[in-house]
Amino acid sequence: MASYGLHAIILRTLLASRTVGRRCARAMGACVFAQAQMTTPPVQPEPSWCRGHSPSAVAVIVLIVFVAVAPIFAGYLLEPPGLHFTGAPTYAEDVAQHEAWAAEMAAHLWYQNLLTPEPTPRGWFFHPLELVMGLTQRATGIPYMALANALSLACAPALAFGLMTLARRAGLGRPGVAAAIALLAGSFAPLVHGAAMIGLIHADVATVRSVGGDATPIFAGPSPYLTLAVLVFVALPMGDAQDPARGFRLAGIALFALATTYPFFIPTL
């Protein structure tokens, strides 16, 4: 009680003088600021994409994508006489409709939706990526699936940078290893497919494919849609105190590009 009374008297004496009170407040504020500086770790700036990633790790990820698309190119090069390689080892019906749309839009900039019983004669369907693919196929004569897989291979470096950026932000010590595992172990579809081939699982093809096949490029093939989805997550936290909405604007650009080419990812993102 005596100690408390002495402290109260000293405090009242200091605050009685306005000048002394201001100096005391400034000193206390300086002490708090200095303590905050000592306890808050310095924020390290995020390295750029060109310098912030291991070239060997990027090369490995590009190699993974190349191995995934190599059978398509080999199929066209080794096509037997009298046979036509479709370039669609899986999801042939899906690939066929995309190729038909690309051919239609290359001819008259729109395509007719023949996959619905609804009346759609007045509908004007447009897909920017398929238009580019169709015009390129028409100008060069390169098969549709060869162009599609070449585009996936061209997107592989950006996919590598994006996955490694997410891994580094998550605090993982080896972002390249994490990105490679994410590509190779994205689903159990290859194991289920192999079990069905040797008779351990008795199911139709559609059931086997439904076990997350799209998550593993080696099994279902990579696509630029995956790159756009990863870029959305990369862009989101790029805002700062001065402009906290910057990340959302940048993510909106990638999200808009994804919505115009593959809108199925939009509800999840």
Distance CA 31, CA 261 (A): 56
112: amino acid identity, one letter: Q
Amino acid 188: pLDDT: 64
pLDDT for 75 equals 92
**Most confident among 108-112, 121-125, 193-197, 239-243 (mean pLDDT):** 239-243
At residue 6, the pLDDT reads: 47
| 31 against 205, higher pLDDT | 205
CA 17 to mean position of chain CA atoms: 62
State yes or no: pLDDT of 253 exceeds 90: yes
Domain ranges of the chain: 90-142
Report the chain's mean pLDDT, rounded to a whole number: 77
Calculate what percentage of the chain has a pLDDT beyond 70. Answer: 68
- Asked whether the predicted pLDDT for residue 97 surpasses 50, the reply is yes
The token duo for 171 is 């605090």
pLDDT of residue 213: 54
Mean pLDDT along residues 38-63: 68
CA angle, 113 then 119 then 120, to 5°: 40
